[in-house]
Structure 1
């Protein structure tokens, strides 16, 4: 496994110029009574590592794995015990400082693998800032695009509202860390009235500012009762296969013809 932190400084200096550095962005935040606060961190870290391992084994691109970030922008869950969050400007400075350091080390390509939807908007801004300040080629990916950001809902019966602690995340944690899942404590928490709005809502043309305790659902949205380890394994492996393809593309991507 090509881990950046395990290399010596001269080895890093000798990396090929098209090497892709992969940084997992997780979170430590409440996920209801049935999932650990490490859920987003576990999924992002495991996905980034598995994708890097697949690319390295295939020899299809030069890639290094950075240590993932656990503490990110989780202020929508700041009302709950267990949530540790950075302010938006602190996280922005962290991402920019990491990018600056990588550029000093000769890295020119950086791929974020995001496991927490609350990081997405800021991650996009940071990606452009890193491009502008240091000339980095930056890319922002998810294991799977969250439903509230235009991705497909994990299950049709979640009505596009299974965005936090629902079927998808619970299934993946049953696959990755089954000993940390308390599925018997979870209930269906789908605020179906939101599906009645035509224009405003998750994955709809008009977004809205929200906190995770706005919905009267104990802070999670979705249906964890339908989750299975088998489904989680299928979701995780499909996402990792796509991420591996993304890494290979990122190694040769150029916006100009």
Structure 2
């Protein structure tokens, strides 16, 4: 059930035990992909898993801004501090728990959120607010497409779920000026704090390598993995 699209009486009658909370970011994804790539992906995976799930599960509204200061050099990028992000997730989950939803999976689409999510989900669980787990979609699927940033994997998913938002005419430009890897590494240490230090146009990897067919497979794989997780969480 899409929480935002229903009335309070609908939700009261639905009696879900598990909720999905999509989170992402609003940040640069090169010249070809929209700033909302990460939260669009998280929402698409959550919706697909909920549709396929054999049971009652709520899908909460997406949190669209995350821990993204590393992309601050690129226009349009928004970010919050880790403590702000953790507090927001904490309070949303607390709200769900107040209404009887005591199991929550936070469906994440942005790498910069991972550490903060692990901490806040652990705190919510230990404090017995709600049993809460983080799920990052691109870590859940096996694929020959490398992750990068705005690279093959993210571009493929977007080409499937939101093809009208991909600037196809800019893909070659994105590939030509992309970095080969994330960061600037010496002795196992990343010298760069911000992405513009190593990625001229914000892209890491080859976005042209990810087509819509691959994106369909990625969505199916991530939704299957999330559905399996929700089943275990509900039974735990």
TM over 0.5: yes
Residue 103 of structure 1 corresponds to 97
- Structure 1 stretches (4+) deviating beyond 6 angstroms? 193-197, 206-209
* TM-aligned CA deviation for residue 184 of structure 1: 3.4
Q: Is the 8 A contact 1:103 1:134 kept in 2?
A: no
Gaps of 5+ in 2: none
Matched, 1:138 2:121: no
How far apart, in 2, do the equivalents of 1:223 and 1:171 lie? 11
Q: Does 1:191 align with 2:180?
A: yes
**2:170 aligned with 1:182:** no
1:240 equivalent to 2:229? Answer: no
Q: CA deviation at 1:134?
A: 3.8
Would you say the 8 A contact 1:28–1:39 is kept in 2? yes
8 A Cα contact 1:115 1:142, kept in partner: yes
- For 2:196 and 2:44, the matched residues in 1 are separated by 28
RMSD: 2.6
Q: CA deviation at 1:192?
A: 5.8
What is the alpha-carbon distance in structure 2 between the residues aligned to residue 103 and residue 42 of structure 1? 25
Contact conserved, 2:143 with 2:218, CA < 8 A, in 1? Answer: no
Q: Does 1:117 align with 2:82?
A: no
The CA deviation at 1:30 is 0.4
3-state SS, counterpart of residue 175 of structure 2: coil
| Equivalent in the alignment of 1:203 | none
Over 3 Å counting, the alpha-carbon distance change for 1:225 and 1:72 in structure 2 is: same
Indicate the residue corresponding to 1:91 in structure 2. Answer: 85
3-state DSSP of counterpart to 1:23: strand
- 1:194-236 superposed Cα distances (whole Å, 9 cap, x missing partner): 7997x73xxxxx7776321121332121101222111111111
Q: 2:210 pairs with 227, 230, 236, which one?
A: 227
Q: How many residues align?
A: 231
CA-CA distance at 1:28 after TM superposition:
0.8
Q: Find the aligned partners of 1:140 and 1:88 in 2 and give their Cα distance.
A: 15
One of 158, 161, 170 as aligned partner of 1:173: 158
> In 2, distance between residues paired with 1:153 and 1:77?
26
Q: 1:13 touches 1:105 (CA, 8 Å); kept in 2?
A: no
Q: Secondary structure at the match of 2:133?
A: strand
CA shift at 1:242, angstroms?
A: 1.5
